[in-house]
Chains A and B, each alone.
Chain A
Amino acid sequence: MSLRDLLPESHAAAGYAFAYMDEASKREVRRALVKAVCIPGHQIPFASREMPVARGWGSGGLQVTLSTLVPEDTVKVIDQGADDSMNAIAIRELVRATTQVKVTTDAREATLIQTRHRIPEDDLHEGQVLVFQVPIADPLRIVDARPSVTRRLHADRDYAPVWLYLYEDLAQVGHSSFTHSHPVEVEGGYVMSPTPIPRHDVERLDGAPFLSLFGAGREATVYAVPPYTRVRPLAFSDRPFERERMPSPCAMCGATDTYLVEDDEFEGGRWICSDTDHCRRSREEAR
């Protein structure tokens, strides 16, 4: 008897159970996620499994996605804002092949968006779920590498060391050195790392209508920001948090309010939208 014989007919084609992971493992992840949603910004350990992607390549986000997907979902996967990067394609294909859910590149249509580095430029709406791939879950890692120490600091809400880090940045460099993952305070309580999203996106988590789930596979940790939660980047009262300044409008769609990345394949270099699908739609609408 082969694995195919044991599986329900609908999944036999892929050779795996619905959404690749076995039910008990998915339940374990969901259980951790429920806890995470109940305590916004608090890091919850979970039994991280081996995934068919290497740890550090989105295994945490993938486990969260696979554990929460239902057959009615429509999935979008991006890496650095792009739907067509290798990592995004591989993850999207795995999800599609093991669930047969619909996939899309349009952020407005997706019910679940797995992302690394970006929040799509579109205004997302209630009912959507953003799943973030997290490389380093603990915002206190920068001040102490020992989890035993950082857990105590979190428990005491002792975030003076992070503030000190911000102070040292200002004193020595003149500005914050966080180009991504600028630490945020969630609902006036825990300090959380909004995994490597640029400063442009950090404030978009504040009061957002969508649910944000963060999965760190290597660190075996999940955390969450429920919809309509207060999310404030840490910043001194007289040195407000600032977004990146873009050097020019997008060279392709002309947008001035989006996050741009350098296109080094273009001769001489140029700056274009990091959110490729949003950029494409803007250009099509303009035509």
Chain B
Amino acid sequence: MTAPVLEVDGLTVRYGPGCTECDPRTSESSRCTSCGTVWACRDVSFEVGPGEVLGIVGESGSGKSTVLACANLDIAPLSGRVRIDGADVTHVRGSERRRLRAERLGIVYQTPAQGLDLELTVGGNIASRMLAAGVREYAALRERAGDLVKETELPEDRLDAVTESFSGGMQQRVHVAKALATRPPIVMLDEPTSGLDVSVQARLLDLLRRIQRETELAMVLVSHDLGVIRMLADRLLVMRHGRIVERGLTDQLLNDPHHPYTQLLVSSQLA
């Protein structure tokens, strides 16, 4: 097997002071009844290989976003490691983190406003990542931004339009284009389609799938929409109360769920 792009090993994140009563290893709930500390992720480990799409599902508060925040180096875990291309980057901060993020990691959030500056032009949003990665040639920025606008099926003549003037679905495409700007080997998607209406969702999913196949992009896809997961994810993690309760190949896992929570999740899905 080729070396993983992203490795997460024994990740544990705590919100709160913790106490002697806290028992993150064995307790059912992620919240300590004695001190109120929330153990948002408990000993979470996984790997994502080149070109592989890993889905993470789980109910609200199960720790999905916390895992993503650690992988995106937004927060440092209490314990555990995050490795990108084999290098331990768990506690990387400042300019090193900025460079790493610009060159190696892309992220797409649920709402475009989280990941874009809506007052900038489409080209500016895309260029910002390349500028962070140290590109100082105007023509190179224009060319890449132009290509990405085409790639993400945005109107090419609106490259210099202010992002705010676009519809929500189009803004989410700009968000995807921005994430891809520096050709990172891995992109993280946090509910990328949840804020969109169904027809727009379908187009964005098609787009993501096409780009993923064409560029052999690795992805971590967090979603509570099993349809999205089924369509994109090769492998799947199911999280609950901060723990991974089940993992496997997406089709197998969704067709034959073992853990009671996964069974509930699958059976709750509308036909």
Contacts and interface: CB of A to CB of B under 8 A. Distances in A.
A172 B121 CA distance: 8
B56 interface: no
B123 interface: yes
A238 B139 contact: yes
Contacts of B124: 164, 167-168, 171
Given A164-B128, A164-B131, A171-B123, A239 B138 contact: yes
Nearest to B117: A164
B98 A167 contact: no
A239 B141 CA distance: 12
B20 interface: no
Contact of A236 (B132, B137, B159): B137
B127 A164 contact: yes
Interface residues of B, number: 20
A134 B95 CA distance: 29
Contacts of A158: 95, 98, 132
Contacts of A172: 121, 160
B160 A167 contact: no
B131 A171 contact: no
A157 B131 contact: no
B94 interface: yes
Chain A interface mostly helix, strand, loop or mixed?
helix
A238 B137 contact: yes
Interface residues of A, number: 17
B138 A157 contact: no
Contacts of B226: none
Nearest to B128: A164
A54 to B, nearest CB: 33
A237 B120 contact: no
A41 B159 CA distance: 35
A167 B94 contact: no
Contact of B95 (A156, A170, A236): A156
Contacts of B121: 168, 171-172
A168 B136 contact: no
B120 A164 contact: yes
Interface string B68-112: 000000000000000000000000001100100010000000000
Given A238-B137, A238-B139, A160 B123 contact: no
Nearest to B122: A171
Nearest to B139: A238
A238 B138 contact: yes
- The 6 A-B pairs at the shortest CB distance, nearest first, are namely A236-B138, A160-B132, A160-B131, A163-B131, A156-B95, A239-B138
Interface of B: 94-95, 98, 102, 120-121, 123-124, 127-128, 131-132, 136-139, 141-142, 159-160
18 contacts: A157-B95, A158-B95, A158-B132, A160-B98, A160-B132, A161-B128, A163-B131, A164-B120, A164-B128, A164-B131, A167-B123, A167-B141, A171-B121, A172-B121, A236-B136, A236-B138, A236-B141, A238-B139
